[in-house]
Structure 1
């Protein structure tokens, strides 16, 4: 490029960065679906923790049944903020399960350590435990035909430093895709498989018996949220293996670009845990990442997951 002026010509040298990256600039940060208006909450206080995702709920105990009106308002907060934080709840496993069950059937997961019952997963990360299943951006169990609707996680033991969890807004991730990328992925499907996410940590003999239980499934690359109607990017590093109908090189290149979207800080919220805190997130609309920076200190958590529906475009 040559800039003409009254003085000497100034020539900008040619420079090129790799194609398919993510670049600086304004981003669309829309928390609510188009056409939905802000409404006040009547039963509790909502304290935003991020621009489009994450809110702390104050003035509400999860230890007792919510009742229809309160349950409906918590659900509205979940849909609008995508992950909710409740400080100092200190729920028993039974109370945690009872709270989650108000959103539907609970899910079991034979690939993870069991807590007090088969529908409670226990993450007990002590000084000698392997750093498994945490520090990668993912949505839970997308290898299932019906991936989880959401999950309720409680921290029982928190390290003195580190061990935060982050969530990413996959509606914002989709909103900000370039139009040419949207044109490629709208209507496309991708294969999800449990093996890549677990083969890094389990020997083959542990996984082989589960191959028939969890065969590969196809889901839309962009799903529609069944309650809000938002378009959501629905591929992740742990379980999405390829985009249907593309050769391997093209699929890998596009998947790398799409999974990078969860890494954008503008789409994220980060939560610093205290013992007894609870997080409730919409697994349809988010990905999450447990930060593995707390060794050699222990970190103990229990999670209950709620069964979801079959994703659709």
Structure 2
């Protein structure tokens, strides 16, 4: 299926393990880059085990797929503003991403994808990340619902997700179609999420609120979701254009440490 590596699906609808590709040994060639992007558009999230990366190599890896996206809701590292440190321990009061979301859908041009290198994992097996297929969520809607959603838009507001951490900060807002198209696969995507989508436009508020609740519940169904099990030096690369994800904080007070970069998108969702 791919010239550069082998893939094994994790579930029928989302996720694949990748074997035969070292992400840090040397820069990827164009065939490898194209294969990764094509696999990403098919499986939504790719898992690469046994990857030795430092922050410089993580940034190099990300830049091979596009410019790095500066997070608009959470501050990056002082010396590496493109890199977000993912860390929690016995002193943490929360972790980011505890609601289902597509990363920074509140941005006018959201990030294409996100790459997370996990360096330290809880010893008891906790700390999974859940992913769901927004392709399948759309495809499993009834035909009348699909027709109804065509042409509707929704507002995505960063304040919904981040204002509890810093209420004085101004966060981005954007309007996107409820149904989008993936630019590589061409498949349709249900593009609303619980963390960022504040309301459906174009219809009365009461109808919009009920519709949004249904669409979020539908997107999060276990039938088209998976739990991504982390190990030390595992890398996840997920496609924000066709999956949502959720951080599962079931490991308090243990430590979990990783570093993430996000690849800038090159177009608005459409």
Please indicate the TM-score interval, normalised by the length of the shorter structure. Answer: over 0.9
> Which residue is equivalent to 2:35?
73
In 2, the alpha carbon distance for the partners of 1:130 and 1:121 equals 18
TM-fit CA distance, 1:189 = 0.5
> Which residue is equivalent to 1:36?
none
**2:11 counterpart SS class:** coil
Q: TM-score if structure 2 supplies the norm length?
A: 0.95
**1:131 counterpart SS class:** coil
> Which residue is equivalent to 2:212?
255
> Which residue is equivalent to 1:160?
123
**2:238 counterpart SS class:** strand
TM-fit CA distance, 1:104 = 0.7
Any unmatched runs of 5+ in structure 2?
none
On the 8 A contact 2:38/2:184 being kept in 1, the answer is: no
Matches within 5 A, 1:1-313: 40-63=1-24, 64-115=26-77, 116-161=79-124, 162-200=126-164, 202-205=165-168, 207=169, 210-211=170-171, 214=172, 216-313=173-270
TM-fit CA distance, 1:178 = 1.3
TM-fit CA distance, 1:132 = 3.1
On the 8 A contact 2:13/2:224 being kept in 1, the answer is: yes
Q: TM-score if structure 1 supplies the norm length?
A: 0.82
Any unmatched runs of 5+ in structure 1?
1-39
Q: 1:308 to 1:126 in 2, by over 3 A?
A: same
In 2, the alpha carbon distance for the partners of 1:147 and 1:82 equals 16
TM-fit CA distance, 1:193 = 0.7
On the 8 A contact 1:90/1:275 being kept in 2, the answer is: no
In 2, the alpha carbon distance for the partners of 1:189 and 1:311 equals 13
TM-fit CA distance, 1:181 = 1.5
- RMSD over equivalenced CA pairs, Å: 1.4
> Which residue is equivalent to 1:3?
none
